[in-house]
Amino acid sequence: MRARQFRAGVTAVTERDGFRVTDAATTWAHLAELLTVDELIAVGDAIVRVPRARGMRRGRPSDAHASIAALESVAAQPRRGAAKLRDALSQIRVGSSSARETELRLALIRAGLPEPELDVDVIASDGTPIGYTELAYAKYRVLIEYEGDHHRRDAAQWERDILKHAACAAEGWEVLRITSAQMKPTPAAAVSRVRTALARAGWRG
């Protein structure tokens, strides 16, 4: 175990379960010495994510561990890794629910595709809520679902996914289900599938 000492002016402390700990934004900033820019983006996405209250009910911004404004504040302070923090900050978005989703979003953007929307409500033409999806190109009616292993192992989740995807297809959406195998060793296979779907829907680059 190695102890670290930080200046009080760049360290905010809060209390969790009876323990005094650095707050989420400060913790993210301190990680700059240890993580890559992409890893800082993934952690930042997790920190600013506003979790769903239940199903289609959205949570409140205050439900996030910290706001983007809070990350901006710590990134603006003189500290080690400040340049990496600023680079990561410009690419952090609210709405990503996993590091793999962040990885996929970044791969799509860096490949020259449009930036996808995150945590998107899907509503049927008659106003019936169908569900929500992780990434989407609403203009092109393309949905992208990152299928983690729990989707396969949880029978109830698997059934819900099948019904949701069928309902989306019936409303004219193309549903792309991306797995970890399509992201390794590079995300080229996943990016190619999304590019093809967008082109089929009328995107011209």
Amino acid, res. 179: T
75 exposure class (CB count in 10 Å sphere: 0-12, 13-18, 19+): buried
Question: Could you tell me if 73 and 11 lie in one domain?
Answer: yes
Same domain, 85 and 107: no
- Looking at residues 141-170, what average pLDDT do you find? 84
pLDDT confidence of residue 175: 96
pLDDT band at 3; cut points 50, 70, 90? very low
* Mean pLDDT to the nearest integer, 121-148: 94
What's the domain count of the chain?
Answer: 2
Q: How much is the pLDDT for 55?
A: 79
Angle at 201 between CA 198 and CA 204, to 5 degrees: 60
What is the residue whose two structure tokens read 């504040």? 73
Distance CA 11, CA 80 (A): 13
The predicted model gives 172-193 an average pLDDT of 96
pTM over 0.95: no
- 33 with 105, same domain: the answer is no
Q: 83 and 101: one domain? A: no
Is a pLDDT exceeding 60 seen at residue 4? no
Whether residues 34 and 57 share a domain: the answer is yes
pLDDT more than 70, % of the chain: 91
Question: For residue 43, what are the domain limits?
Answer: 1-94
What whole-number distance in Å separates Cα of residue 74 and Cα of residue 42? 17
Domain co-membership, 88 together with 111: no
Q: What is the pLDDT of residues 55-114, one digit of tens each?
A: 789 999 999 999 999 999 999 999 889 999 999 999 999 999 999 999 999 999 999 999
User: Is residue 127 located within the same domain as residue 161?
Assistant: yes
Do 105 and 201 reside in the same domain of the chain?
yes
CATH number of the domain that residue 161 is part of: 3.40.960.10
Same domain? 74 vs 18: yes
Q: Are residues 84 and 106 in the same domain?
A: no
Structural domain ending residue among the three candidates 94, 120, 140: 94
- Do 135 and 165 reside in the same domain of the chain? yes
Last residue of a domain, one of 59, 77, 94: 94
